[in-house]
Amino acid sequence: MRIIRGKYGKRRFDVPNNITARPTTDFAKENIFNVIENIEDIEGEDVLDLFAGTGAISLEFLSRGAKSVTSVEMAATQANFIRSVKEKLGDESLRVIKGDVFKFLATAKKPYDIVFADPPYDHPRFEEIPQIIMNSGVVKPNTLVIIEHSSKHDFSSLPCFEQHRTYGSVNFSLFRMPENTEN
């Protein structure tokens, strides 16, 4: 796994063989970060990475100047790997939570500036995830929410949907909570 750009750019970390996550390809990661940086200033932002897997997205946000990054990952192997990379980097701006994303969202009260979610494509609750995030305490007015998904999902009819991007077989749907939610 490599960090593409920023203060940790070009750093590589060997991912353990027993990790079951499906990491975002470098091609897709580089392209979605170009999109994000054109619509949002990452520097100084509080970022939440749900279903963090190897932590590649968390580390990319951290490297590009996010004030803080919180990674939520259920699998112990993946959460421990992210912690080990955090220790190697010596960066206290990264917080790793080993736990269930749905329980985290149900109780979270801290809003973030950017929320990224890369659930397993075969997750039984995949279709619900954008709305669960948008209705949770992690979103505030103007929060950017990015959902990574396969081509079999189309979230364009959901409230707050802004755009869809495809890079190879990887799809991203971007949502933004409006500034004023009154009608």
Contact predicate 65/44, CB 8 Å: yes
Structure tokens at 47: 């970022």
Integer-rounded Cα Rg, in Å, for the chain is 15
Sheet containing 144-149: which strands, arranged edge to edge? 94-98, 68-73, 46-50, 114-117, 144-149, 170-176, 161-167
In whole angstroms, what is the distance from residue 182 CA to residue 149 CA?
30
Polymer length of the chain:
183
Residue 20 to residue 37: CA distance in whole angstroms: 29
* H or E element that contains 162: strand 161-167
> Per-residue pLDDT for 2 more than 60?
yes
Contacts (Cβ under 8 Å, ≥6 apart) of 1 = 12, 13, 14, 15, 23, 54, 56
Pair 38, 14: CB distance under 8 Å: no
pLDDT digits (tens, 9 = 90+) for 78-93: 999 999 999 999 999 9
**How confident is the model at residue 144, as a pLDDT?**
98
H/E stretch holding 94: strand 94-98
Taking every pair of C-alpha atoms in the chain, what is the biggest distance, in angstroms? 51
pTM: 0.95
Tell how far CA 11 is from the center of its chain: 19
- In this predicted model, what pLDDT tens digit does every residue of 42-90 receive, in sequence order? 999 999 999 999 999 999 999 999 999 999 999 999 999 999 999 999 9
Give me the CATH topology for the region 26-176. Answer: Rossmann fold (3.40.50)
Say what the pLDDT of residue 21 is: 78
User: Using CA atoms, how far apart are residues 45 and 62, in angstroms rounded to an integer?
Assistant: 10
* Spatial separation of the C-alpha atoms in residues 48 and 110, rounded to whole Å: 10
Residue 183's pLDDT band, with cuts at 50, 70 and 90, is very low
